[in-house]
Amino acid sequence: MALIDEGYLEFSELQEKQKLPDAERFQRGPVAVLECIQQIPCNPCEAFCPFGAITVGSPITNLPVLDAKKCKGCGTCVAKCPGMAIFVVDKSYSGTKGSVSFPYEYYPLPQAGDEVAALNRKGKAVGTGKVLKVTNPASFDHTPVVTVETDLSLTDEVRNIKKGVLK
Amino acid sequence: MILEKDVVVIGAGPAGLAASIEAAKAGAGVLLVDLNLKAGGQLFKQIHKFFGSRAHYSGTRGYDIGRKLVREAESLKVDVWLQSTAVGVFPGNKVGIERILDGGVKKLYTVHGKAVIIATGASENAVCFKGWTRPGVMGAGAAQTMVNVNHVRPGKKIVMLGSGNVGLIVSYQLMQAGCDVLALVEAAPKIGGYAVHAAKISRAGVPIITSHTIVEALGDEKGTVRGAVIAKVDSHFQPISGTERTIECDTIAIAAGLRPVVDLTRLMNCASVFEPVFGGFIPLHNTDMETSVKGIYVAGDSTGVEEASVAMEEGRIAGTAAAQSLGYLSAAEAGKTKKLLWERVNSLRSGPFGERRLTAEKNLLEHFREEIREPQPEIMIGGLAHGAD
Ligand SMILES: Cc1cc2nc3c(=O)[nH]c(=O)nc-3n(C[C@H](O)[C@H](O)[C@H](O)COP(=O)(O)OP(=O)(O)OC[C@H]3O[C@@H](n4cnc5c(N)ncnc54)[C@H](O)[C@@H]3O)c2cc1C
Ligand code: SF4
Ligand code: SF4
């Protein structure tokens, strides 16, 4: 398993361990992707989702399960997950571009409009992205959520950005 | 002069704070001592959001959990002595405390606690390799204290040894502080800590090099670290010669696990066992968290290295049991609370990461029941401590 051997998830591994939203749900708008595949004692995703879309239940080491129908893609869980393992992916708004929202706790924060290098789960640059927004309300408790636009085909791969602006 | 207190709690980490809160809530007079300048133990250097459930303040940053607990203890009129080191616990539950007063004057106190709760936490393990005493080689916990408490970077280019949660989290926090973490080296073939923590540093581009160890810290002309020589290890964790390579760096941080701080329970001759799952020698205890010596309780990492969430629950159990033993809670009231708390501890110990600890804890409790039963102070301080090994 790449994750515990090397420290990153392969997408195929994720598909095996987590039930991801189906293609039809992705078409309907932004939705959470839970990249949490180990039974660890944790449940803030369940506790903080305002729409009750995530269930961990008892025991607390259960894997979280997303009810993609209930999920509104609001991003609250992205900031609340202590494992920084939740992403919101939007594949719905254009035939060629999509966006990925992820937690980002480094300074300096990127700004909307920045052109950046888009990194995959291994930290490798796989393309370029444009920062659409940086959401950082007090309720996120210092975990800003960055939304970056990339090629639609990269939305299952891009999970971070490289510090600094490209141009 | 000997001061009198219902309960003396040693160590103001999450375990000691939770124990103090629970005992004070029941009406006991509590003295909480800690050798640090601030109460909170490990929590004050932990700037990340914690795992656990709502009941364990999950999703909240460590230092915020610390602040909440300190505020609650203060509102319950717990007497908190900081810069106060428990230098010994003596028969009859007398605690010797060296307290630094305003102006730096040190004063020794003896406090008699009807119950004493020991929650002294854990200390870092060292790893010896050639050059390990060079300036620039340090514990991961020390590096974490430097960046998060003192706001000083230990160096610019870091190599981390050990992929448990401490190694993973401290690597991330060093990057947040602006250091470059060049590699995380792990001797085991697999990552030790939670995958989500590993994923966090992987997607920032830090390579996690498993089945490798550090064999030497290279020094510059002044002797400080200028590089780490790493090598592949065989299945017995022995470096394979010819596989060495050098990573240029100025700091090597070691996250090779923690071991319980048990000096005080040892001094009291509390029956103890060696349990690798919990990090080394630990005092045995019953379901009240009471040791083989009556009136001496333990909680938190000092009775097995785990997590703040478990430390808090154990503290609450010890605090409740101590209050019960002093008559502040009826057996029925205390029993109900303790049952609930044990259920929460057990649920934290479920899953593949917790199972080993759940089994180990069961065996330890069993061991206590079989070998120690109802502890009697006179036998405890002599023979049984050995008999129980
Ligand atoms: C990098 C890192 C990340 C972690 N992340 C998490 C996490 O995400 N979630 C989680 O649940 N846990 C986490 N933990 C674990 C958690 O911090 C510990 O399990 C917890 O702090 C243990 O609590 P404690 O009260 O037993 O000990 P400590 O917090 O270590 O407190 C012990 C206190 O006792 C004092 N003391 C010791 N000896 C004496 C003496 N003789 N006299 C007076 N005072 C004394 C010390 O000064 C200290 O303040 C993490 C630990 C580390 C190192
Ligand atoms: S994105 Fe919003 S609605 Fe969807 S699971 Fe997360 S918190 Fe719930
Ligand atoms: S909050 Fe994050 S790490 Fe915790 S269970 Fe939910 S998805 Fe997993």
> What is the domain count for chain A?
1
Best residue in A40, A107, A148 for a mutation probing chain B (most B CBs within 10 Å): A40
- Asked if residues A146 and A160 have their Cβ atoms less than 8 Å apart, the reply is no
pLDDT tens per residue across span A85-110: 999 999 999 999 999 999 999 999 99
Residue A65's domain comprises: 2-161
Q: Which of B46, B48, B53, B147 is the mutation pick for testing A, counting most A CBs within 10 A?
A: B53
In a domain, A100, yes or no: yes
Q: What's the one-letter identity of residue A26?
A: F
For residues B138-153, give the mean pLDDT: 97
Which chain B residues have a beta carbon less than 8 Å from that of A41? 51-53, 307, 309, 347-351, 353-354
pLDDT in tens, B213-271: 999 999 999 999 999 999 999 999 999 999 999 999 999 999 999 999 999 999 999 99
Which residue's C-alpha comes closest to atom 7 of ligand 3? A36
Q: Torsions phi, psi of A102, nearest 5?
A: -145, 160
Which pLDDT score is estimated for A150? 98
CA distances from B239 to A129, B128, B207, B234, B273 (A): 43, 13, 19, 6, 31
Q: Is residue A76 part of a domain?
A: yes
Give this prediction's pTM: 0.92
Q: Are B99 and B84 in contact (CB under 8 A)?
A: yes
Rounded to whole angstroms, what are the CA distances from B54 to A18, A94, B154, B196, B217?
23, 39, 34, 19, 43
Q: Considering chain B, what is the average pLDDT of its residues?
A: 93
- pLDDT lower than 70: segments of chain A: 1, 4, 167
Q: Is B107 strand, coil or helix?
A: strand
ipTM of the complex: 0.95
Q: Is B48 on the interface with A (CB under 8 A)?
A: yes
| Residue owning the nearest CA to atom 6 of ligand 2 | A77
In a domain, A97, yes or no: yes
In a domain? residue A167: no
How many angstroms separate the CA atoms of B251 and B238, rounded?
A: 23
Please indicate, yes or no, if residue A166 is contained in any of the structural domains.
no
* Shortest CA distance from A45: residue in chain B: B59
Check CB contact under 8 Å for B54 and A159. no
User: Is residue A37 a part of any domain in this protein?
Assistant: yes
Task: Categorize the per-residue pLDDT at B73 as very low, low, confident or very high, splitting at 50, 70 and 90.
Answer: very high
Mutate to test the pocket of ligand 2, among A72, A80, A81 (most ligand atoms within 8 A of CB): A72
Tens digit of each residue's pLDDT (9 = 90 or more) over B184-207: 999 999 999 999 999 999 999 999
Which of residues 123 through 142 in chain A touch B, CB cutoff 8 A? Answer: 123-124, 141-142
